[in-house]
Amino acid sequence: MDLLHRFCLVIAGICLVLITLIIPWGVFTRYVLNSASSWPEPTAVLAMIWFSFLAAALCYRERLHIGVAVIPMMLKGTPRQLVGYLIEICMLGVNLFMLWFGIKLVKTTWYQWISDFPDLISVGMSYLPVPIGGAITALFVIERIWSSEFFIEPSVEEISHTSTE
């Protein structure tokens, strides 16, 4: 799982750098050269989609996602553990839904072309992050269910270590 985590981190980082480089180029061509390029904006949108789904999986695994834990914090022992299992099973259901219906969406739209990239990138390719992100997050959910470590707050050392890796 650490290798998958690292893979997501690298790809999400590449997408973020790509967005950072592409958007200024689009602004430069539009306002300095007075000849706007057509590809920077849709390319940045595709990179942002990949970044979003992979970063969401990363945040889930690193326990940096938003969660409301009022009820679990009021419970102790077995009831708290059962609530943890229930939450993770619901999370697994959502991600399996993304995987299953994401694959159907990709199959349905695979032969439709994005107008900005005719014969290069299909609409189905732009939807690939949905099932891939769902599958990766589902694996991270299974890892958490397997370890039975619910409602653990990340320590300051873990957060700083993760952000400086």
The rounded mean pLDDT for the chain is: 90
φ and ψ of 31, to 5 deg: -100, -25
The arithmetic mean of pLDDT across residues 128-141, rounded, is: 97
Average pLDDT of the segment spanning 36-50: 93
Provide the b/e sequence for 47-62 (b: ≥16 CB within 10 Å).
Answer: bbbbbebbbbbbebbb
Rounded Cα gap, residues 3 and 5, in angstroms: 5
Predicted local distance difference test score (pLDDT) of residue 162: 55
- Residue range 62-78, pLDDT digits in tens: 888 877 777 888 888 88
Of 165, 119, 113, 138, residue with least CA distance to 56 = 138
Q: Residue 154's pLDDT is what?
A: 67
Taking only the tens place, the pLDDT of each residue in 106-121 is 999 999 999 888 888 9
| Across 1-30, average pLDDT | 94
In this structure, the number of other CB atoms found within 10 A of the CB of residue 6 comes to: 12
CA atoms of 61 and 82, how far apart (whole Å): 20
Work out the pLDDT band at 122, boundaries 50, 70, 90.
very high
Segment 22-29 shows an average pLDDT of 94
Q: Is the pLDDT of residue 45 over 70?
A: yes
pTM for the complete prediction?
0.85
Residue 152 predicted with pLDDT over 90: no
Q: Where are the domains of the chain?
A: 2-164
